[in-house]
Amino acid sequence: MIVVYRSSDLRSLLDACRAEGLRIGFVPTMGFLHEGHLSLVTRSLEETDRTVVSIFVNPTQFAEGEDLAQYPRDLRRDSELLEKAGIHYLFAPDVEEMYPDGPGRTTVNPGRIAEAGEGRFRPGHFAGVATVCTKLFAIVGQCRGYFGQKDAQQVAVVRQVTKDLDLPVEVVACETRREANGLALSSRNGFLDEEMRKAAGAIFNGLEAAAKLASEGETKPEALIAKVERAIGTEAGLKVQYVEVVDPETFEKVERVDAGALITTAVFAGSTRLIDNLEVPASS
């Protein structure tokens, strides 16, 4: 594994790979890696010839008052995990390398989708994601980009941006990895104590119960939403911020539940904000 700190160095290395006909797989992350991240890495290793993972805690995707300073970091442990996994390049730029003239000058605005769903509670978040992904894609060049469905709206934003800006990236969405009780793996789960981790299993239970309701023929979003709210609301320490049923491309709320819609939620477990989602299955 080669660790690269400079954008220009990574570009040269990957240009040389492509010149030899090798396919590049790219996994962008903010580090503090867990099995969810590693499942994207495994997929990239299986489907491409050279895998590059980036670790960059992107300041522009944290809204005012969010946990940028507290965001967990452990580059040494991450690079050991990635080396063991067998990746080829680790790109670990600092903020100065990514934003030499300071963050926020030229930005990518994904439009309406950025205001829906998570965007209502995280102003500027998706513009930050769109901007950093556009920059990373410009550095990495033609590749397959691996993203987790756990951050479903991020996947939709990145797909939209690559399409609208003709970026040479094929976006691949990968299934959410979960703990045994259903809690979606997240770098922020480290903030939860044992009791809270157990309680947070109710988030996925609620989503599953709502998906089951839909598979039995329920078409009213309110019925699904109530199901999730009830499952989560009964757990001490959990507080629902929102539950919605949305179109998977636009993240606009749907008026009627159909297969493929997403049930999305954000929940506070104490002071830790967790998000999750589940696709509505075809009715049985």
Which of 137, 213 has the CB closer to ligand AMP? 137
Cα distances (Å, whole numbers) of residue 89 to 1, 84, 134, 147 = 5, 12, 19, 17
From 12-20, 101-109, 182-190, 257-265, span contacting ligand AMP (CB under 6 A): 182-190
Q: Does 257 bind ligand AMP (CB under 6 A)?
A: no
From 113-121, 132-140, 173-181, 241-249, span contacting ligand AMP (CB under 6 A): 173-181
Q: How far is the CB of 225 from ligand AMP (least distance, A)?
A: 23
- Our finding on whether 248 is near ligand AMP (CB under 6 A) is no
Q: Which of residues 124-153 bind ligand AMP (CB under 6 A)?
A: 147-148, 150-151
The yes or no reply on residue 174 touching ligand AMP (CB under 6 A) is yes
Residue 37 catalytic? yes
**What is the closest distance, in whole angstroms, from the C-beta atom of residue 282 to ligand AMP in the complex?**
23
Query: Does 37 engage in binding with ligand AMP (CB under 6 A)?
Result: yes
Class of residue 63 by CB neighbours under 10 A (exposed 0-12, middle 13-18, buried 19+): middle
For the bound state, the minimum distance from the C-beta of residue 232 to ligand AMP, rounded and expressed in Å, comes to 18
Residue from 4, 17, 40, 172 touching ligand AMP (CB under 6 A): that is 40
The only residue of 51, 131, 176, 277 in contact with ligand AMP, by rule CB under 6 A: 176
36 binds ligand AMP (CB under 6 A): yes
Closer to ligand AMP at the Cβ: 7 or 61?
61
Which of 127, 161, 184, 200 forms a contact with ligand AMP (CB under 6 A)? 184
Q: What residue ranges bind ligand AMP (CB under 6 A)?
A: 29-30, 36-37, 39-40, 147-148, 150-151, 174, 176-177, 184-187
- Report, as residue numbers or ranges, the catalytic residues: 37
